[in-house]
């Protein structure tokens, strides 16, 4: 007999984390900022989104997912190659299908980012059908 996935209730306070080791492929230099071998802001943003996804992944119903719609962050400090960055997202608001998260990120020594992220709950099949139809136009 297979084990069923336990669905947590979707509630304020859910928390998720994501972590990344900074490599040369993840630096600002790779995004065109010559001479800046530090963790790139777009990678920080992506890590914060991953943390938010993790926060609610066990609370969604089958056939549901989330999509990011807004990200307002400050990149507070640079992180060199070799260090790790850990993002934490905490669900702070649920308004219908809109989810709002407080996001923070830390490297091995200090807080390197903070802000707010919004995601919307979607029904995955209709959403991806709509995208497929859009791609055919």
pLDDT in tens, 31-89: 999 999 999 999 999 999 999 999 999 999 999 999 999 999 999 999 999 999 999 99
Tell me if residue 25 is catalytic: no
Asked if the structure places residue 19 within a domain, the reply is yes
On whether the CB atoms of residues 53 and 66 are closer than 8 A, the answer is yes
Q: Is 117 a catalytic residue?
A: no
Annotated binding site for CoA: 68
Does 84 reside within a domain? Answer: yes
Per the annotation, binding residues for substrate are: 68, 119
In a domain, 8, yes or no: no
Catalytic site residue from 75, 79, 117, 118: 75
Total domain count, the chain: 1
Residue 2: band (very low, low, confident or very high) from pLDDT cuts 50, 70, 90 = very low
Mean pLDDT to the nearest integer, 16-40: 97
pLDDT above 60 for 16: yes
From 49, 66, 117, 118, the catalytic residue = 49
Which residues constitute the domain of residue 60?
A: 15-135
Residue 88 lies in a domain: yes
Specify if 10 maps to a domain. no
**pTM (predicted TM-score):** 0.91
Residue 131 confidence (pLDDT): 87
Q: Which residues belong to the annotated binding site?
A: 68, 119
Q: Does residue 1 have a pLDDT over 60?
A: no
49 is catalytic: yes
48 domain residue, yes or no: yes
36 contact partners, CB below 8 Å, separation of at least 6: 27, 28, 29
Question: What's the pLDDT tens digit per position in 95-113?
Answer: 999 999 999 999 999 999 9
Written as six digits, the tokens of 112 are 């390197």
Parallel, antiparallel or unpaired: strands 84-95 and 111-123: unpaired
What is 35-73 written as a DSSP string?
T--BB-HHHHHHHHHHHHHHHHTTTSPTTEEEEEEEEEE
Which residue among 41, 90, 92, 124 is the active-site one?
41
CATH at residue 129 = 3.10.129.10
| Among candidate residues 56, 69, 54, the one with its CA nearest the CA of residue 18 | 54
């Amino acid at each position: 007999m297979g084990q069923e996935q336990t669905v947590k209730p979707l509630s304020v306070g859910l928390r998720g984390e994501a972590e990344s080791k900074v490599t040369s492929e993840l630096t600002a230099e790779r995004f065109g900022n010559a001479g800046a071998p530090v963790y790139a802001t777009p990678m920080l943003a992506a890590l914060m989104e991953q943390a938010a996804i993790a926060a609610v992944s066990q609370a969604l119903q089958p056939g549901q997912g989330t999509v990011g719609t807004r990200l307002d962050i400050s990149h507070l400090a640079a992180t060199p190659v070799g260090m790790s960055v850990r993002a934490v997202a905490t669900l702070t608001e649920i308004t219908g299908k809109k989810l709002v998260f407080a996001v923070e990120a830390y490297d091995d020594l200090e807080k390197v980012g903070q802000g707010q992220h919004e995601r919307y709950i979607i029904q995955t099949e209709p959403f991806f059908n709509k995208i497929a139809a859009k791609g055919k136009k």
